[in-house]
Amino acid sequence: MILDCRVKPGNDKYAAGTNSSMTTSERQALQALLAWYEAMGADEAIGEAPLDCFASVTQPLAAAPLAPERMSLGTRVAPSPSPSGGASAARSSEAATLAELEAMVAGFDGCPLKRTAKSLCFARGSEKARIMLIGEAPGRDEDLQGKPFVGRAGQLLDRMLKAIGLDEGQVYITNTVYWRPPGNRTPTPQEVEACAPFLARQIELLSPKVLALLGGAAAKSILGSSEGIMRLRGKWLSYPCATGDISALATLHPAYLLRNPAAKRLAWRDLLALKAALDAS
């Protein structure tokens, strides 16, 4: 379905669907506008008919209002967690299982990303995995399915893992934040910090043999480093955990590899290092 708000009285050439009276340049302009909407995070239809935004509004619209937790495009939400949200983060250590922790995250209101996301993307994979992979943030496909790394980057990651003999039943995958940032923007430090207590407890509960940090954002957040991914990748580092130090290896994010296929040779070296570490453990 295409919803367009450029419909003007007496001019229906831009109405929903295709129209033979549209010129090539008009159709291209419409497609560019819709692509911009999607990039800004407005990528889902919420009505069954096009809305004339230029019509004079004399009465309240009959359509149902936006849900209280959603915000209008362009509204900025300050990173000020609610009192209950802050308390939930402080109690993350009380979760005895990953299921309890997921329920606690689902009820957490201290991260502004929850207000604009469709789904919680807590994790996918096995809770008995020896390797835990951590990326940056969910994207559009992840938000729709409620699972991390299921889009194009996730499909590439699955193929990469398969190349070293691993599948979803042998790995555990999550992100530094659990909700999609609007328009797939980079999470703010405040948003990452809001989710950090849960992620730390998630690592403790899984207690993997190896952490694989996908991309510079995850590596910097987890390791507390200011170095770029090209300096961090390929080096074995240590993540201090209550259950004991965990070996951590930073590597390139699959989304980066989609944009820069030549860098796959570096990622392959990291994958072989991960396989050797798992074989030796």
Domain with residue 167: its CATH number is: 3.40.470.10
The pLDDT, as a whole number, for residue 37 is 63
Residue 182, pLDDT score: 96
Mean pLDDT on 208-219: 97
Same domain, 115 and 177: yes
* Confidence category of residue 52, pLDDT binned at 50, 70, 90: low
For residue 265, give the nearest of 160, 136, 173 by alpha carbon: 160
| Sign of the four-CA dihedral 205, 208, 214, 215 | positive
Q: Are residues 216 and 159 in the same domain?
A: yes
Residue at 93 is within a domain: no
Mean pLDDT of 143-170: 98
| Residue 88 within any structural domain of the chain | no
| CA gap 51, 66 in Å, rounded | 15
| Residue of higher predicted confidence among 65 and 137 | 137
- Judge if 240 and 113 occupy the same domain: yes
79-88, 167-176, 186-195: segment of lowest average pLDDT? 79-88
Are 44 and 12 a contacting pair, CB within 8 Å?
Answer: no
Number of domains observed in the structure of the chain: 2
Mean pLDDT throughout 53-67?
39
Residues 243 and 138 in one domain: yes
Amino acid identity, residue 110?
A: G
Burial 16-36 (b: 16+ CB within 10 A, else e): eeeeeeeeeeeeeebeeeeee
The predicted pLDDT at position 77 comes to 28
Higher pLDDT, 7 or 224: 224
Average pLDDT over the chain reads 82
Q: Is residue 75 part of a domain?
A: no
pLDDT number for residue 135: 98
Domain containing residue 231 = 98-280
Q: Does residue 89 fall inside a structural domain?
A: no
Task: Output the pLDDT for position 19.
Answer: 52
- Residue 12's pLDDT band (boundaries 50, 70, 90)? very low
Q: Do 272 and 136 share a structural domain? A: yes
Does residue 87 fall inside a structural domain? no
- Are 54 and 115 found together in one domain? no
Last residue of a domain, one of 50, 68, 86: 68
> 148 lies in a domain?
yes
User: What percent of the chain has a predicted confidence (pLDDT) above 90?
Assistant: 65
Q: Are 58 and 154 in a shared domain?
A: no
Are 152 and 39 found together in one domain?
no
Is residue 227 located within the same domain as residue 175? Answer: yes
pLDDT band for position 30 (cuts 50, 70, 90): confident
Q: Are residues 144 and 229 in the same domain?
A: yes
- Whether residues 219 and 104 share a domain: the answer is yes
- Region 216-225: what's the mean pLDDT? 94
Residue 77 lies in a domain: no
Q: What is the pLDDT of residue 65?
A: 33
What's the pLDDT at 43? 59
In this structure, is residue 78 part of a structural domain? Answer: no
Contact (CB, 8 A) for 246 and 238: yes
Tell me, yes or no, whether 119 and 256 share the same domain.
yes
pLDDT digits (tens, 9 = 90+) for 100-156: 999 999 999 999 999 999 999 999 999 999 999 999 999 999 999 999 999 999 999
> What pLDDT does residue 83 have?
39
